[in-house]
Amino acid sequence: MVWENETPRLYSRNEKELTANFPEVIEWCRTIYEQVKEYLPLMLDGELVHLLNPFKSEFTLVQQRGKFRTKETITRHSRIHPMNFIIFDLLKISGTSLMENPLSTRKKQLDMLCKALGITTDTSPLQIIETFKKGEELFGFVTDHNGEGLVAKKKTSTYRSTRSKDWLKIKNWRYVQLIVTAYDKRNGYFEGSVLKDGELTAVTHFKHGMKDEEYTTLTALFKQNGEKRGKETWTLTPSIVVSIACIGFDGKQLREPKFNSFLMEAEPDDCTWNSLQRQLHPIPKQVEITHPDKPVWPSIHLVKDDYLLYLQKAAPFLLPFLQDRLLTVIRFPHGADDESFYQKNTPDYAPSFIQTAVDEDIEYILCNDLKSLMWLGNQLALEFHIPYQTIHQTKPAELVFDLDPPSVDEFELAVQAALQMKEIFDQFHLTSYVKTSGNKGLQLYLPLPVEAFSYKQTRAFSEFVSIYLCEQNPETFTIERLKKNRGGRLYIDYIQHDAGKTIIAPYSTRGHGRGLVATPLYWEEVGDKLTPDDFTIPRVIERLRSEGDPFRNMRENLDEQGEAFAAVLRELKKLGKK
C-alpha cells in the first residue's frame, strides 16, 4: 500500500495496481485521512485477505476480486465478500525509507503508528498482523483453524521485496488420496481425480515432488496399459491411488499440489468427494470422533461426518453468535427426528478444553472455539440455542421477533409479516436483519448497542410493533399464545424475547428430518419465491461460499442504531402518557 495523499493505492507483488478492485479498503482509509496525514507518505507491506477466521483467508475470493473489471461486479462482491488489508511491515513513514532498518525496529514503529491510528489485530478493513514468538504455538493455531501456514522472520533482517533466506515459510500441508486417471505428454502432468456421484471428477494435475524413477515408471504404465486419447494423452482405468500434498482447494482444483507417495494398499473406490473434503478439513487433534458413518439425516443421506464437516465450514459464521453465551443444546443421540433431550449442564465427561460458566447453579458450556463445536457435534448436538446476551452483559445485545405460521404450508404469512415489519423498522430508521428459523418461520433481528437498553424497554417496543401489526391484519396475524385459539393465523412471538429465554442460533441446524439450517437472508430474498426448504445443509455450505454472510455487519454502526431506538422509546413513552 502506497499512501501519499487522501487516497492510498494498492499494488500486487508484480506492481499491478489493484486500487479500484478493493473499494472497501480504500474508502475506510479515506475516513482516517486527518489522523494519518502527518505520517504521509507511507508505504506498508501486507496482504489482501478475506478472513474466515484469524488464521485463514479464502484465497480464491481475493484472486477473483483482483480479476474483476466492472465497477458493478466489484461493488457487489465487496458487499458480499468484504476484504481486509493486513499490515505486515512498515517500509516508509513521513517519506523516510525504513527498508534497511532491522525488522525489530520496523515492527516497533509500525506498532506505534497503528496505535496512533486506532488500528489493531481486529479492526476492519485495515488491521495489523498478530506476531508470535513461539513458532510451535502459532503452527498449532494454524492447523486447528485449517490455515495455509506461517512465515518466520529474523528480527535483524532488512526488507527485501524478493524471497530471502532471512524469511522462512512453513506450510500446513494437507494430504489427500486421489486416483491417477490421465497423463498428458505435452506438459508432463498427471491428472488426479475422485469419485463424485459415481463419476470421476478431476481435482488436480501434478508432477512436482516425484522422483525420476517414480515419474518414469508411471508414464511407462500409462503408455503400456492406458488408452490413448489423441496424439499425446492417455487415460487409465481407476487402479492407481496416490497421496498428494496441497495447501487448500478452491472448489475445483487443489492449491499447490505436490506428489507425496504411491498408496499401494488403497482402493480407488475409497477416493470419493466426501473423503477429499474430510482430508482437506482435518478434525482438531484434541477431539475424538466416534461412529463417523452413523446416519443422522437418513432421508437426505447425511451421516455424522457430513454434519461435522458442515460445522467446520460454518464455524467462522456460527461461532461469533455462540461466543460467551450460555449454551443450551438439543441432542439427538439416534439421529434427527428421533428421541432428543435438552442439555444445559456440562456433563462430567466433557474434555478439559471445554469452557464453562455458572448461572443459577447450572454450569453451562461456552462454545467459543472450533474444538468445542466439534466435540458438541460428535455428541450429536444438532440444535444450538442461545440467550440474547453474553455472560458479560445484563441487557440484550439484540431484539428478536419470532414469526411462527401454523405450518410450513403457510410460510407466506411469515414473509408478509416480515416485510411489513421491515417497513415499520425503516420508518424508525432502524437497521433490521432476517433469518429462517430452520423450520417453518422467520426471525427478525434488531441489533442493539452493548448494555444500552433493558429487557423492559425492548419489551415496550416489541409489544407495540406486534400489537400494531395484528390490529392492521387481524385475519392473518395474532399474539395469542395458545395454538388452539390462533385460528390458522401467524403467531408473532415477542414474549420469548426476555432474560433467561433462548433463540436458535444463526447457522444452527435443526433436528427434524429435512436437514434444514436457521439461515440468515438478504432482505431482497424475502418474497413470494422464498421457501425454508431451500436451506438444507449442503445448500447452506455452498451459499456461504457464493453469497457470503448476510449477518456479517450486524454489530457495526450500533451508535446510530441506539440513537434511533432511543428516539422510538421516547415517542412510545409520550403515547403512554396520553
- Provide the pLDDT for residue 432: 98
Q: Is the pLDDT of residue 577 over 80?
A: no
pLDDT in tens, 251-272: 999 999 999 999 999 999 999 9
Which residues, other chains included, contact 321 with Cβ-Cβ below 8 Å and sequence gap of 6+? Answer: 386, 505, 506, 507, 551
What integer is the mean pLDDT of 202-214? 97
When the candidates are 3.40.50.1820, 3.10.580.10, 3.30.70.3300, 3.40.50.2300, the CATH number that belongs to 398-506+551-567 is 3.30.70.3300
What are the extents of the domains in the chain? 2-170, 174-280, 295-386, 398-506+551-567
What integer is the mean pLDDT of 91-101? 97
In this prediction, residue 460 has a pLDDT band, given cuts at 50, 70 and 90, of: very high
Per-residue DSSP letter, 272: B
Q: Is the pLDDT of residue 205 over 90?
A: yes
pLDDT in tens, 300-323: 999 999 999 999 999 999 999 999
CA gap 520, 535 in Å, rounded: 10
Which residues, other chains included, contact 330 with Cβ-Cβ below 8 Å and sequence gap of 6+? Answer: 340, 341, 342, 343, 381, 382, 383, 385, 511
pLDDT in tens, 477-494: 999 999 999 999 999 999
Q: What is the mean pLDDT of the chain?
A: 95
The string of DSSP codes covering 354-396 is -EEEEETTEEEEE--SHHHHHHHHHTTEEEEEE-SS-TT-SS-
Angle at alpha carbon of residue 26, lines to 521 and 149, rounded to 5°: 75
In this prediction, residue 578 has a pLDDT band, given cuts at 50, 70 and 90, of: low
Q: Where does 399-498 have alpha helices with state H?
A: 411-427, 455-472
pLDDT in tens, 339-376: 999 999 999 999 999 999 999 999 999 999 999 999 99
Per the DSSP assignment, residues forming a β-bridge with 11 are: 17
Per the DSSP assignment, residues forming a β-bridge with 37 are: none
CATH architecture of the domain formed by 2-170: 2-Layer Sandwich (3.30)
The cell for 81 is: 465478500
CA gap 342, 332 in Å, rounded: 9
In this prediction, residue 163 has a pLDDT band, given cuts at 50, 70 and 90, of: confident
Q: Which CATH class is domain 174-280?
A: mainly beta
pLDDT in tens, 444-459: 999 999 999 999 999 9
In this prediction, residue 160 has a pLDDT band, given cuts at 50, 70 and 90, of: confident
Per the DSSP assignment, residues forming a β-bridge with 77 are: none
Q: Coil, strand or helix: which one is 70?
A: coil
The cell for 9 is: 493505492
Longest Cα–Cα distance of the chain, Å, equals: 94
In this prediction, residue 331 has a pLDDT band, given cuts at 50, 70 and 90, of: very high
Three-class HEC string of 507-558: CCECCCCCCEECCEECHHHCCCCCCHHHCEHHHHHHHHHHHCCCCCCCCCCH
Q: Could you tell me which of 298, 259, 251 has the C-alpha nearest to residue 277?
A: 251
- Provide the pLDDT for residue 300: 93
Say how far residue 146 (Cα) sits from the centre of its chain: 13
CB 113 within 8 A of CB 107: no
pLDDT in tens, 25-77: 999 999 999 999 999 999 999 999 999 988 999 999 999 999 999 999 999 99
Q: Evaluate if pTM is beyond 0.85.
A: yes
- Provide the pLDDT for residue 575: 82
The cell for 549 is: 454472510
Per-residue DSSP letter, 345: B
Per-residue DSSP letter, 247: S
Q: Could you tell me which of 402, 565, 424 has the C-alpha nearest to residue 479?
A: 402
- Provide the pLDDT for residue 556: 87
Q: Coil, strand or helix: which one is 100?
A: coil
Q: Is the pLDDT of residue 553 over 80?
A: yes
The cell for 308 is: 461435522
